Structure 1
Amino acid sequence: MPSSETTSAPSSIANKVFAQGELSIGITLPITGDHQSVVDFNEQIEHARLADQLGYRALWVRDVPLNSTDYPDPVGHLDPWVLLGALASNTERIALISGAIVLTLRHPLHVAKAAMSVNTLARGRFILGLGSGDRPPEYAAFGRDPDDRRDLYRQHWDTLAAAVSVPSRVIPDHAPEDAPEFYLLPRQEASIPLLAVGSGGQSVDWIARHSLGWMTYHREPQAQRGRYSMWRAAVERTASGAFRGFGVAMGLDLSDDPDEPATELSLGYRTGRRALTALLCDMRASGTHHVTLNITSERRPARDIIEEVAAHVLPEFHR
């Protein structure tokens, strides 16, 4: 069996985020306004502390290696490992999730070392979300061929999974006869859970076999139900009887009118809190286990939105 098939081992933090028949809610950082490029990351740390105190289940951090005027997202993201380290030191209970480390553009042993470091600082609260990147010019900038991304993703996943499992194994790229046997520190009490964010160029069967779950983007409800049905069929084919989570990243422009009906936006909704609760209930009933909110703070302060969702929406789901 490939070394990356480690999803059967339970993870307490993964179970808090992805649970059968339940839906948990997280937040994606940074929280920005439309077209905002300069971010106060000290303020983002305050948002993280607040989300932790109010009972959100996860904080998500993106990996954006390079910026370009051709890209739709102008935000100057911090290096994900630096931000995750700061979040680990400033929160106590909430899960920390990379959404997602671009596995094809980083050496898997570097990713393993960073993941183990964050997990140690977070006392076991880290879930390692992994993607393949979808911007061919970035591959060229890093000396990679975008046509190799599917194979690279699988190869790097196997090396990474071996390294962050318990017991940990280092699989070197090359091993001359006189090479020592390497290992990674700090040692972990439990394997770090691996989560596929997007498809990474892989089939849903591959994802169901190797990952604790599948995280995808928001789609209109009927399309999302079809995607979940495809996912469940893949899980039954490849891991029959096992649980695999299904999660969605959803944009949220929360109205200050609690009764405003939901209006579709790109990758999410503008809505009042009552319609938001109804939408999330429908998603739970359709098989979604986790939603991370990409909050827009153009019209309202982010703190107000975080507090309103915590007071009026979370109680329906985080019991």
Structure 2
Amino acid sequence: MTIADSTIDHRVFADGILSIGLTLPLLRTGTIVADFREQVVLATLADTLGFRALWVRDVPLNSADYPDPVGHLDPWVLLGALASHTNQIALASGAIVLTLRHPLHVAKGAGSVQTLSNGRFMLGLGSGDRPPEYAAFGRDAEERRELYRAHWETVAAALGGTPQVIPDRRPEDAPEFMLLPRPPLPVPMLAVGSGGQSVDWIARHSIGWMTYHREPETQRSRHSMWRAAVDRLPTPVFRAFGVAMRLDLSDDPHEPATPLSLGYRAGRHALVALLDEMRETGTHHVTLNLNSERPVREVMEELAAELLPVFHE
């Protein structure tokens, strides 16, 4: 089986290979209002250029107290638009806040995107980490670990190979429910962040683990912890490890890498070296959160010309 004809999760995550994706919205430094019609155009360009995945965040509410001032579209609305304007690239949620949404609504949205995209969707799920946001939705932040596990189970049942709707309550006269239309393929489910769970729980239930970039020593420690959890599984199986990384790509290709919060500023040669080291230490996918004063299209085209041929075998 080749990368081209495998399922979408195996096109993004493969043993010994590092694939590269992009996180939406794609904005220049200092831009806090996204033109989402332009974002769809840039997503189409990313598809044409050969990036492996587009990642969409779920930011239900904004606040002046939050570090991210950008207003994000509802992820299901944006994913529907992306499904209709792209052809090959994987679409991924990074991540749906599972604890603040009803799991049957999450399953319905995921199945819908999987159908529209013809099997190109990966459902990344997180728990959120802002107690005031939990309060705004009438949830108790102290219950997020239990909510995450319970909601995951309901979503997994609804999207699996033999779909089953697990209702919150089942009166004696309740009919058997189903989610239609059924997507062409089961939806891969991916843990983004820990969701308050152990790495052993994530390894048992998820196709992999996506984390934010950390400084190299911490990242190596996290990866070693993940590999140990995968090795403890009763049956040997591939489990992916991915990283979301901020990137300020210098217009000087020889500029050395300088650490930033959750990423780097670097020229392309230093970036290739960084990514190559990540590949060698077992990272399977990196999604880049572009943050540069350079025009976004220019950065995308440089990455496609200079990086993708190195890493996308």
Separation in structure 1 between the aligned mates of residue 31 and residue 298 of structure 2, nearest angstrom: 19
**Which of 173, 177, 193 in structure 2 is aligned with 1:178?**
173
Q: For residue 309 of structure 2, what is the amino acid of its counterpart?
A: P
* CA pair 239-96 structure 1, distance change in 2 beyond 3 A: farther
**What's 1:304 paired with?**
298
Conservation of the 8 A alpha-carbon contact between 1:166 and 1:189? no
Separation in structure 2 between the aligned mates of residue 177 and residue 167 of structure 1, nearest angstrom: 24
- Give the 5 Å matches for 1:120-269: 120-269=115-264
Separation in structure 1 between the aligned mates of residue 208 and residue 78 of structure 2, nearest angstrom: 24
Deviation of the 1:46 alpha carbon: 1.2
**RMSD between superposed Cα atoms in Å:** 1.1
Please report the TM-score for the alignment, with normalisation by the length of structure 2.
0.97
Separation in structure 2 between the aligned mates of residue 138 and residue 165 of structure 1, nearest angstrom: 30
Q: For residue 200 of structure 2, what is the amino acid of its counterpart?
A: D
**What's 1:70 paired with?**
65
| 1:30 corresponds to 2:22 | no
Q: For residue 166 of structure 2, what is the amino acid of its counterpart?
A: I
Deviation of the 1:191 alpha carbon: 1.2
Separation in structure 1 between the aligned mates of residue 272 and residue 184 of structure 2, nearest angstrom: 37
Conservation of the 8 A alpha-carbon contact between 1:128 and 1:192? yes
Q: For residue 305 of structure 1, what is the amino acid of its counterpart?
A: V
Structure 2 unaligned blocks of 5 or more = 1-5
Cα deviation 1:189-245 (Å, max 9, x = unaligned): 321000000000000000000000000010111221111110010011125410000
Conservation of the 8 A alpha-carbon contact between 2:28 and 2:295? no
Conservation of the 8 A alpha-carbon contact between 1:35 and 1:74? no
SS in 2 for 1:250: strand
Separation in structure 2 between the aligned mates of residue 211 and residue 290 of structure 1, nearest angstrom: 15
Separation in structure 2 between the aligned mates of residue 37 and residue 22 of structure 1, nearest angstrom: 34
Q: How many residues align?
A: 309
SS in 2 for 1:86: helix
* CA pair 282-239 structure 1, distance change in 2 beyond 3 A: farther
Deviation of the 1:35 alpha carbon: 4.5
Q: For residue 157 of structure 2, what is the amino acid of its counterpart?
A: A
**What's 1:41 paired with?**
36
- Give the 5 Å matches for 1:80-95: 80-95=75-90
**Which of 101, 104, 107 in structure 2 is aligned with 1:106?**
101
Separation in structure 2 between the aligned mates of residue 242 and residue 249 of structure 1, nearest angstrom: 23
Separation in structure 1 between the aligned mates of residue 113 and residue 193 of structure 2, nearest angstrom: 22
**What's 2:276 paired with?**
281
Separation in structure 2 between the aligned mates of residue 54 and residue 222 of structure 1, nearest angstrom: 33
Cα deviation 1:143-165 (Å, max 9, x = unaligned): 00000000000000000000011
